Amino acid sequence: MSAYVETRTVDADEAEQRLDRWFKRHFPAVGHGQLSKLLRTGQIRIDGKRAKANQRLEAGQQIRIPPLGDAQPHLQFAKPARKDTETGAELIEAVIYRDDEMIAINKPAGLAVQGGSGTTKHIDGALDSLRFGYSERPRLVHRLDKDTSGVLVLARTQRAARRLTHAFRAKSALKIYWALVVGEPKPTNGQIELPIGKLPGKLGEKMAVDHENGQSAVTRYVTLEKLGRRAALVALSPVTGRTHQLRVHMEAIGTPILGDGKYGAAEAFLQGEGISRKLHLHARAIRIPDEDGVPIEIIAPLQDHMIRSFDFFGLEPELDGSPFEPFEE
């Protein structure tokens, strides 16, 4: 449980969820009575305003979380945690696009998007550094796994968060990932349609193909380069947005993403002095419409660990052509 006041941003996947159910998911140890008291006394707030248990959330809203250790009244005045200025400086360096409505960063691999159990360094905790003169704090409108690098879009206002969230949910935003995988996908190009569900247990979030209870999940893929049957460079476009979808789907067809020990186990690693053991999954590009419907294309350069592995396999880090081309209709 938190010992300080903290702020969490509602993710796009959590839009329309009731506040009490959001709390149940994020803080399962907080009982109904305790939650009701915190709401009644105004200690839990949404965008600075009092909230109700049945309130429906919107993507980009910011939820004030009071200290939850023992819910003792005197703890509500505990000072908030210090701003993460170090991570904030990293984010400023990582900005690759900015306009009046959105900011895009090239998220470093290994940096979590939001906090969780044992995670104190994350993007959500350092977003104040990306105000760039705005009174509002930037808001998350989608997520990337902690170990995935690449394009992450942030809304600069609550109004922008609503529009951008709708773009992601309506599939008018096209996301392209690059992945180095172990082995060669067969067929070379195709579409994976396998439902995904969460595995039971308390050892960290892990997903799996689940034909009985899983949610529909669809991934399109195109093999860009074959690397002597040992590996391949693949472009991936998620049609749905399930947790760990690309990682689960690539493992399911027998080509785990290089460095993905969580899903591919030992088979996800290759020997070679120039091959990093980090996850080789990069959100390469995103195409998203602006307020007038004009598409904006944002491309994130590869990060160091993937550049080294590209060099090992003799690949050009940027390759020729548009990253969107394999998925153009």
What are the residue numbers of the active site? 145
The CB-side HSE value for 136 (13 A sphere, CA atoms) comes to 20
Instruction: Name the 3-class secondary structure at 126.
Output: helix
Q: Provide the edge-to-edge strand list for the sheet that holds 49-50.
A: 6-9, 62-65, 45-46, 49-50
Q: How far apart are CA 22 and CA 256, in angstroms?
A: 32
Q: What is the DSSP string of 86-101?
A: HHHHHHHHHEEEE-SS
Which tokens sit at 188? 């070379």
Please, how many CA atoms are within 13 Å of residue 226, restricted to the half-sphere of its CB?
9
* Cα–Cα distance measured from residue 50 to residue 44, given in angstroms and rounded to the nearest whole number: 7
